Amino acid sequence: MTTLALQRVEPLATASAGQPFRTASGGLIDRNRPRDFTFDGKRLTGFHGDTLASALLANGVRLVARSFKYHRPRGILSAGSEEPNALVELRSGARREPNTRATMAELYEGLEATSQNRWPSLALDALSVNALLSPVFAAGFYYKTFMWPASLWEKLYEPMIRRAAGLGRAADAPDPDTYDHAHAHCDVLVIGGGPAGLSAALAAGRSGARVILVDEDFATGGRLLAERREIGGESGADWAARAVAELESMPDVRILSRTTLFGVYDHGAYGAVERVSDHLAVPAAHAPRQRLWRIVARRAVLAAGAIERPHVFGGNDRPGVMLAGAVRTYLNRYGVLPGRRIAVFTSSDDGWRTAADVLEAGGGLAAVIDTRTDVPPALRRMAEAAGARVVTGGYVAGTKGHLGLSAIQVVDGYHSTETIACDCLAMANGWNPVVHLDSHLSRRPVWDEAIHAFVPGTLPSGMRAAGAAAGRFTLAECLESGARAGAEAATACGFTATAETTPRTDPESIDHTPLWRVPKPRGKAFVDFQNDVAASDVELAHREGFRAVELLKRYTTLGMATDQGKTSNLAGLSIMAELTGKDIPSVGTTVFRPPFTPVAIGAFAGHHRGKEFRATRHVPSHAWAEENACVFVETGLWLRPAYFPRPGETDWLDTVVREVETVRARVGICDVTTLGKIDIQGRDALAFIERVCANPFATLPVGKARYAVLLREDGFVMDDGTVARMGETHYVMTASTANAARVMQHLEFCRQWLWPELDVQLASVSEQWAQYAVAGPRARDTLRRIIDPGFDISNEAFPFLACADITVGGGIPARLFRISFSGELAYELAVPAAYGDAAWRALMQAGLPYGITAYGSEALSVMRIEKGHAAGAEINGQTTARDLGLGGMLAKKKDYVGRLMKERPALTDPDRPILAGFRPVDPSDRVRAGAHFLRLDAAPSLEADEGVMTSVAYSPSLRTWIGIGLIRRGAERHGERVRAYDPVRGADIEVEICSPVFVDPKEEKLRV
């Protein structure tokens, strides 16, 4: 049942109270600072300096998780970020975080951890029957088992698989924490804080270079904290502490600990995530939970170390089976003996160090099984002297135990089998340099036969590899290659740096002959623990022809998910190599991509969430609008007033109708600041405008404005606006709200690239001027009350399309344009933006006697549709000036952007859809934008499609819905009836084609 094998074992007499597997002394934990935590609700205690994994092991908890597909019991394999098994849910409620590696979670007071992917409990998991169905869940099961009938996929198969297989649950409440972004720049970036990284940082830092050292651990030192090693007579951990202290004393060196460098990008750009507050229950007030760093470095030293390889044998996933280096980490760094009787399964001298460390700590060494026949006699003597069984030239074939390891089945060199009782098995099958980061720019690692591992190939520009990451595994090599790489990197940045002689280290042997999988495993031999991929799945993939590495990965899911195959890739490749009779380098590897370890979406989003997802721009009348119950609409980044409901108006249409009727009968003002406004000055300003606008401007006098249409070079309309001539060589161009930035970029393109010889100066004044449309029969009366006396705006003195620099409010500079979008007598008044709020209030007050209204973008849109003015729905990148009824105004005798291409046959085809107006034959019918036009007798088909309704509005002037749209030969068909067919909304009504100008077609109102 739920009893763990280990809990039956009596605690060591010397163990810390309540932590039966804690050694009496040693380790880098602070035994004076106990930390209470819970796992699946059970209260446990660890120490400050523990990880969740080390604290669980100290408490004798070996069963930590259930596996992805088969729900097999899993424990803790490693002591680092490569952990595939020990994934837990951390915290609760809104802060619940799934798939956290227990090996990376720093213990804090009150930590809550929950096992995941199990029901009803970790020890009794109903879905472990999946293990009995393992033939069903073998490689490719997605593609085979659930093929037919397809209709069941969404309803049955997917929910079933989702429930049966999977990892943790995300929090279902908004994340209460904040996330931060930061940029950093340095000469030398050092990735990894082990012996190589620290040496590199010291060598570079001492030269005066700006150095950033990034280390994913919360304590800097890497394997120095995990091994019993000496450097220059002091312990590795002491040496690391001194190195850190020296680096911290350098003003231009920054150590980012708890920080994972997750991505390498072009030209020296790197991404890293700092877990600022993950080691706290709740971040300190105003402190972010995590910080995403974008680092730019001139040079980088990759010292990310190496990851130990498991052996592939039967039942190698049973809790208690661990990496040999991890056993040393738990022992030496955390003071935890992960078992009472520890066995070592090794293919290298390295594994014997685990045996030695266990003995040194007074632990029980059950056995050492070395796959090699030649083992240094001193090592054998050491183990045998301690009473351990030593097997050479043999292997572990299988394991026994219910929810944790109780014994191993060992095959010796003579093929005889024995069972050895043990509760922990340490696997030492060699190490793989961390080649992920140097592979991020599509560079493949290369095979090094001497160390039986992939090492970095061609490194990204500016990057050097050092230490174990470069395949230099001994401590002496780490220190030496690190210092050299750091010095070289600093020298390349122009500093005078030398790699000082490295201190002496104690001798070590790393002799190694890997065994990629045992000859005859007993039970499922796992290659990829996280994805439940066994050696038999690789064989299946081979049989079925999925032999290329990329296919092997997709077919079996080997190397996918949160750990990206850190402990499994090479095992999978080596088995495929054996099956195909190739060597490992010819099988190759898959490509590693960022991120190195999972990064929370919140860290990428940073400040940009909720309302701050993107920036919001406010118009100058925003404060007044807010005071007056305005309803806003998002237009690009702008928050524009849409309409201004008054008490008693219950429907938006009531409000919009009232706003339109007020403008048509009296006066209204509308904030049109969102238009792009560009000052064009210079000797050649006119020549420039002539080339960017399709209509002529040579005759435009000072003090006059003109409608302007801009084409793209391919002949379609880019945008429209106005050009006003404020002075001899000074023009102001407006662009539509949506296209303002695009038009500015286009004008700069024309100025800098197409016609650099023109003397013209462009300045955006969009933000300088608040601009308001003042429209309606009483517009002039209203304006007169706010502009300074002395400027005559009578129709004679300031006719339609006049413009001038004026003053308002007693000397405030302003610009006045007599232009109209509504079809009424109208002006646009521009005042300096700081006076925008005042000018708006002044206009509202000045218009009070005339019944003035504020109107928003909705009423503006209704009035422009009533006038048949093309806007965004019509200027959609597919329409020509001719399509929009603007063909007649285009210049004949000048070159301008789009001039030639608009003459292409397809763009001058008389059958093209042309702008027209539409009114329903039955006035009670509502027309809808998006409806397609069909002849009355035509059946709906693509061939019969005559065009599309682009904009519609309820017209208060006509008291019916109206629309404008594009229909074949639209200009010639006024009076004809067609269908407006809208199958999406089930509408099919008869409409009459008419002039797009519904109101005041003779334009009498404009010119009074």
Partner 1 sequence: MSEAATTRAPSSLWRPRGAWEGVAKTGRHGAANGPAGIRLTLRENFGLATLIAADGKEADLQAALAERFGLSLPETGAAHVEGERGLIWSAPGQWLALAPSPQGLRDLPEVLRGVAAVTDQSDSRALVRISGPQARALLAKGVAVDLHPRAFGPGRAAVTSIAHIGVQLWQRDAGPTYEIAVARSFAGSFWQWLEHAAAEFGYEVEASAV
Partner 2 sequence: MRIRCPYCGERDNGEFSYLGDAAPQRPDGLEASAQAMHDYVYLRDNPAGTIRELWYHAAGCRSWLVVTRDTRTHAIEAVEPARDVARARRSGEAA
Helix, coil or strand: residue 407: strand
Neighbours of 94 (CB within 10 A): 12
The distance of closest approach from Cβ of residue 258 to partner 1 in the complex, given in angstroms and rounded to an integer, is 16
Q: Does 900 interact with partner 2 (rule: CB under 8 A)?
A: yes
The distance of closest approach from Cβ of residue 895 to partner 2 in the complex, given in angstroms and rounded to an integer, is 4
Neighbours of 396 (CB within 10 A): 28
Name the residue nearer to partner 1 (CB basis): 179 or 526: 179
The distance of closest approach from Cβ of residue 892 to partner 1 in the complex, given in angstroms and rounded to an integer, is 30
Name the residue nearer to partner 2 (CB basis): 384 or 748: 748
DSSP 779-827: HHHHHHTTBPTT---STTTS-TTBEEEEEETTTEEEEEE---SSSSSEE
Per partner kind, with CB cut-offs from 5 to 8 A, the member of partner 1, partner 2, none near residue 995 is none
Q: Does 745 interact with partner 1 (rule: CB under 8 A)?
A: no
Q: Does 359 interact with partner 2 (rule: CB under 8 A)?
A: no
Per partner kind, with CB cut-offs from 5 to 8 A, the member of partner 2, partner 1, none near residue 155 is none
Q: Does 269 interact with partner 2 (rule: CB under 8 A)?
A: yes
Q: Does 608 interact with partner 1 (rule: CB under 8 A)?
A: yes
**β-pairing verdict for 234-235 and 253-256:** unpaired
Q: Does 894 interact with partner 2 (rule: CB under 8 A)?
A: yes
Q: Does 903 interact with partner 2 (rule: CB under 8 A)?
A: yes
975 contact partners, CB below 8 Å, separation of at least 6: 992, 993, 994
Name the residue nearer to partner 2 (CB basis): 713 or 976: 713
The distance of closest approach from Cβ of residue 769 to partner 1 in the complex, given in angstroms and rounded to an integer, is 8
Per partner kind, with CB cut-offs from 5 to 8 A, the member of partner 1, partner 2, none near residue 135 is none
Name which of residues 253 to 292 contact partner 1 (CB under 8 A).
285-288
The distance of closest approach from Cβ of residue 266 to partner 2 in the complex, given in angstroms and rounded to an integer, is 4
Answer for the pair 259, 215: CB distance below 8 angstroms, yes or no.
Answer: yes
The distance of closest approach from Cβ of residue 846 to partner 1 in the complex, given in angstroms and rounded to an integer, is 10
Neighbours of 257 (CB within 10 A): 16
The distance of closest approach from Cβ of residue 268 to partner 2 in the complex, given in angstroms and rounded to an integer, is 7
To which residue do tokens 């999977």 refer?
Answer: 166
The distance of closest approach from Cβ of residue 904 to partner 2 in the complex, given in angstroms and rounded to an integer, is 7
The distance of closest approach from Cβ of residue 782 to partner 1 in the complex, given in angstroms and rounded to an integer, is 14
Rounded distance between C-alpha atoms, residue 316 and residue 523, angstroms: 9
Q: Does 614 interact with partner 2 (rule: CB under 8 A)?
A: no
Answer for the pair 190, 211: CB distance below 8 angstroms, yes or no.
Answer: yes
Q: Is 55 left (phi over 0), alpha (psi -120 to 50) or beta?
A: alpha
Answer for the pair 27, 332: CB distance below 8 angstroms, yes or no.
Answer: yes
> Which two tokens mark 880?
């020509």
> Amino acid identity of 87?
L
End-to-end CA distance of the chain: 95
Long-range contact pairs involving 153-157 (C-beta distance under 8 Å, separation at least 24) = none
Rounded distance between C-alpha atoms, residue 256 and residue 261, angstroms: 10
Name which of residues 834 to 853 contact partner 1 (CB under 8 A).
834-839, 841-842, 845
Neighbours of 318 (CB within 10 A): 26
Name the residue nearer to partner 2 (CB basis): 744 or 999: 744
Answer for the pair 68, 167: CB distance below 8 angstroms, yes or no.
Answer: yes
Name which of residues 275 to 294 contact partner 2 (CB under 8 A).
294
Q: Of 746, 722, 743, 729, which is closest to residue 800 (Cα–Cα)? A: 722
DSSP 709-753: EEE-TTSSEEEEEEEEEEETTEEEEEE-TTTHHHHHHHHHHIIII
Answer for the pair 755, 690: CB distance below 8 angstroms, yes or no.
Answer: no
The distance of closest approach from Cβ of residue 698 to partner 2 in the complex, given in angstroms and rounded to an integer, is 15
Q: Angle between the 349-360 and 377-385 helix axes, to the nearest 10 degrees?
A: 30
Half-sphere exposure (Cβ direction) of 337: Cα atoms closer than 13 Å = 31
Rounded distance between C-alpha atoms, residue 567 and residue 590, angstroms: 14
Q: Does 296 interact with partner 2 (rule: CB under 8 A)?
A: yes
Q: Does 602 interact with partner 1 (rule: CB under 8 A)?
A: no
Name which of residues 809 to 828 contact partner 1 (CB under 8 A).
809-813
Q: Does 615 interact with partner 1 (rule: CB under 8 A)?
A: yes
Tell me which of 265, 791, 800, 954 binds partner 2, using CB under 8 A: 265
Q: Of 1000, 954, 1001, 926, which is closest to residue 664 (Cα–Cα)? A: 1000
Rounded distance between C-alpha atoms, residue 22 and residue 106, angstroms: 17
Q: Of 290, 223, 297, 281, which is closest to residue 259 (Cα–Cα)? A: 290
Q: Does 748 interact with partner 2 (rule: CB under 8 A)?
A: yes
> Which two tokens mark 82?
């490569």
Per partner kind, with CB cut-offs from 5 to 8 A, the member of partner 2, partner 1, none near residue 282 is none
Name which of residues 868 to 927 contact partner 1 (CB under 8 A).
none
The distance of closest approach from Cβ of residue 244 to partner 1 in the complex, given in angstroms and rounded to an integer, is 21
Name which of residues 632 to 651 contact partner 1 (CB under 8 A).
638
Q: Does 805 interact with partner 1 (rule: CB under 8 A)?
A: no
Tell me which of 43, 162, 267, 614 binds partner 2, using CB under 8 A: 267
Tell me which of 134, 761, 957, 995 binds partner 1, using CB under 8 A: 761
Tell me which of 749, 983, 1001, 1003 binds partner 2, using CB under 8 A: 749
Backbone angles phi, psi at 673, to 5 degrees: -60, -25
Answer for the pair 975, 919: CB distance below 8 angstroms, yes or no.
Answer: no
Rounded distance between C-alpha atoms, residue 23 and residue 360, angstroms: 11
3-state helix, strand, coil in the chain (%, to 5): 25, 30, 45
Tell me which of 730, 899, 928, 969 binds partner 2, using CB under 8 A: 899
Answer for the pair 719, 877: CB distance below 8 angstroms, yes or no.
Answer: no
Answer for the pair 499, 480: CB distance below 8 angstroms, yes or no.
Answer: yes
Name the residue nearer to partner 1 (CB basis): 71 or 622: 622
The distance of closest approach from Cβ of residue 760 to partner 1 in the complex, given in angstroms and rounded to an integer, is 8
Name which of residues 375 to 434 contact partner 1 (CB under 8 A).
none
Rounded distance between C-alpha atoms, residue 439 and residue 445, angstroms: 7
Name the residue nearer to partner 1 (CB basis): 57 or 272: 272
Q: Does 417 interact with partner 2 (rule: CB under 8 A)?
A: no
Answer for the pair 642, 631: CB distance below 8 angstroms, yes or no.
Answer: yes
Element (H, E) at 143: helix 141-145
Size of the site for partner 1 (CB under 8 A): 58
Name the residue nearer to partner 2 (CB basis): 223 or 902: 902
Per-residue mark of binding to partner 1, 161-200 (x: CB under 8 A): -----------------x-xxxxxx---------------
Per partner kind, with CB cut-offs from 5 to 8 A, the member of partner 1, partner 2, none near residue 753 is partner 2
Q: Does 631 interact with partner 2 (rule: CB under 8 A)?
A: no
Answer for the pair 717, 879: CB distance below 8 angstroms, yes or no.
Answer: yes
Per partner kind, with CB cut-offs from 5 to 8 A, the member of partner 2, partner 1, none near residue 51 is none
Tell me which of 173, 701, 753, 1002 binds partner 2, using CB under 8 A: 753
Per partner kind, with CB cut-offs from 5 to 8 A, the member of partner 2, partner 1, none near residue 616 is partner 1
Answer for the pair 438, 459: CB distance below 8 angstroms, yes or no.
Answer: yes
Per partner kind, with CB cut-offs from 5 to 8 A, the member of partner 2, partner 1, none near residue 414 is none
Tell me which of 539, 578, 679, 805 binds partner 1, using CB under 8 A: 679
Per partner kind, with CB cut-offs from 5 to 8 A, the member of partner 1, partner 2, none near residue 268 is partner 2
Contact positions toward partner 2, by CB under 8 A? 265-269, 294, 296, 461, 713-714, 741, 744-745, 748-749, 751-754, 756-757, 894-897, 899-901, 903-904
Contact positions toward partner 1, by CB under 8 A? 178, 180-185, 210, 252, 285-288, 294, 296, 607-608, 612, 614-620, 623, 638, 673, 679, 681-683, 759, 761-763, 765-769, 808-813, 832-839, 841-842, 845
